[in-house]
Amino acid sequence: MTSSTTPRLVTTPGELRAALKEAGRVGLVPTMGYLHEGHARLIGRARTECDTVVVSVFVNPRQFGPREDLSRYPRDLTRDLGVAGAAGADLIFHPDVDVMYPPGYATNVSVGGVSGPLEGASRPGHFDGVATVVLKLLNLVGPERAYFGEKDWQQLAVVRRMVRDLNVPVEIVGVPTVREDSGLALSSRNSYLTPEERERAGVLSRALRAVQAAAERGERDTALLLQAGLDVLAGEPGVSLDYLAVVDGDMAERARVDNDSMTRVLVAARMFGVRLIDNLPLLPEQTGDGDGA
């Protein structure tokens, strides 16, 4: 299949199967819509590596908590079709909730270990919802590769562990975070912020870079590494910090780190009424990309 200006829109599993009959090597980009340049980067990567690129647009209710922003989460399918088409998508899969979770639906996917700390502790049940919908999408689309942004680092770790543990025949590709000029990681939720607030929210990435700089100077004590980031955050009164943490590849926090470990520094904070997350490799030469198959 080749890319067109406007991707084909399908809404049911039957339409999806028919559209993919002779699709060749399929790449999947799972999204909740309101696409931005970060999503476009995922689609563009898939375009270079696959014959057919499928973008799912589905606001998954099972990954939202009872007091989270499901009802006001931004939605604009017309915009999504334009962004996806310009980036090289062939198909948009946009199912209704009752298609993904029909009456009587009673199955849940739970990934232990990597889903427990940080986001898992702050948002109970969130990663069960993520794992469930991702597995359903992988089963429906049957891609050779699926593309996820590294901005949601713990989500990427959960998906990779699920795919490995359940022997799902797909390669999981992590794509580096795209940022605004302020350093703020691109997110659909950034639309909740004013331009001034988005500029100030760049403090999160500056805090991560301060931790990274301390590691580059040779610091390996986690408490001292994190203090470098906390000092930066203390200069911005709009930050309500949820966590700032250094974790290993299993999402476990460690008292000390070493040069060989795949460590990452993650932050989550509420600013101006919006919960924002971000992360960076502890050492710049470390990368999070990998197949995870």
Q: Is residue 241 within 8 Å of 233, Cβ to Cβ?
A: yes
Q: Which of 36, 39, 94, 126 is catalytic?
A: 39
Burial of residue 24 (CB within 10 Å: 0-12, 13-18, 19+) is exposed
- Catalytic residue at 94? no
Burial of 244 (0-12, 13-18, 19+ CB in 10 A): buried
Three-state SS string across the chain, please? CCCCCCCEEECCHHHHHHHCCCCCCEEEEEECCCCCHHHHHHHHHHHHHCCEEEEEECCCHHHCCCCCCCCCCCCCHHHHHHHHHHHCCCEEECCCHHHHCCCCCCCCCCCCCCCCCCHHHHCCCHHHHHHHHHHHHHHHHCCCEEEEECCCHHHHHHHHHHHHHCCCCCEEEEECCCECCCCCECCHHHHHCCHHHHHHCCHHHHHHHHHHHHHHCCCCEHHHHHHHHHHHHCCCCCEEEEEEEEECCCCCECCECCCCCCCEEEEEEEECCEEEEEEEECCCCCCCCCCCC
Question: What is the token pair recorded at 74?
Answer: 């931004």
The amino acid at residue 187 is S
Write out the catalytic residue numbers: 39
